Amino acid sequence: MHWGLPAIRVIVPVLCCAASALCQGNQKLLGKWRSVVTSDGGIGAVVDFHSDGTFDYSPGAVIGGQYRIQGNQVITAYENGEPENAMTIESITAEKLSMKLPGAVATLDFKRVGRVENPGNLLLGVWVTVRTMQGSPSHGYYYFRSDGRETFNIPFRTDHCAYAIAGNQIRLRAGGRSMEGTLRWEDDVLVLPWGRGEAKFKRF
């Protein structure tokens, strides 16, 4: 199985998120974040905080890296130390993208999520596979950022949760369970109370 990145063992984690009450607001927190530390199989989580005191929690495969473009190839070095991977762009428009993975005969087809970020560089933005990923019931998402970051994600599910902030304290609640503790930052890394300890997340 090859998705243009190291093979990921699809194992749904026991991890469960949470959140509560009305949000007091924290602009720095808003937006989409991914796990800094994942399992050996590349399993982590994506959290997406909204200004209305809700957030989405999506456990799944998530791997970050850096990419560059050479000719018609997108070359990615992922953070887990695997060798660089080169995907060939077969065609690209404002709404559709087709790429061929190394050693593959067929192309992998995508559609754009959201608006075109830069008409001069159509690759930038978010792309989702038209078909579900091989060996998975879910679609795959590729995030290409203007600063050279790439993130690959297969969400297993999405839970809609809530959170509340008071000072530097945050409460996360969902499904009758809650986690509460200190909201803090390590440079650009978000640290949240998680399970019986803490979890670190990077923006993407």
Reported as a single tens digit per residue, the pLDDT across 57-83 is: 999 999 999 999 999 999 999 988 788
pLDDT band at 175 (very low <50, low <70, confident <90, very high): low
- Nearest CA-CA partner of 87 in 150, 137, 130, 33: 150
How sure is the predictor about 18, in pLDDT bands with cuts at 50, 70 and 90?
very low
Tokens of 16: 């469960």
Q: Give the number of other Cβ atoms within 10 Å of residue 166's Cβ.
A: 10
> Fold for domain 31-61+159-203?
Lipocalin (2.40.128)
CA angle (134 as vertex; 86, 138 as ends), nearest 5: 105
What value does the mean pLDDT of the chain take? Answer: 86
Residues forming CATH 2.40.128 domain(s) in the chain: 31-61+159-203
Strand partners, 33: 47, 203
Interatomic CA distance for residues 47 and 17, integer angstroms: 9
23 has a pLDDT exceeding 60: no
Structure tokens at 22: 């009305």
Tell me how far apart the alpha carbons of residues 13 and 10 are, in angstroms, rounded to a whole number: 9
pLDDT digits 0-9 by tens, 80-139: 878 898 999 999 999 999 999 888 888 999 999 999 999 999 999 999 999 988 777 899
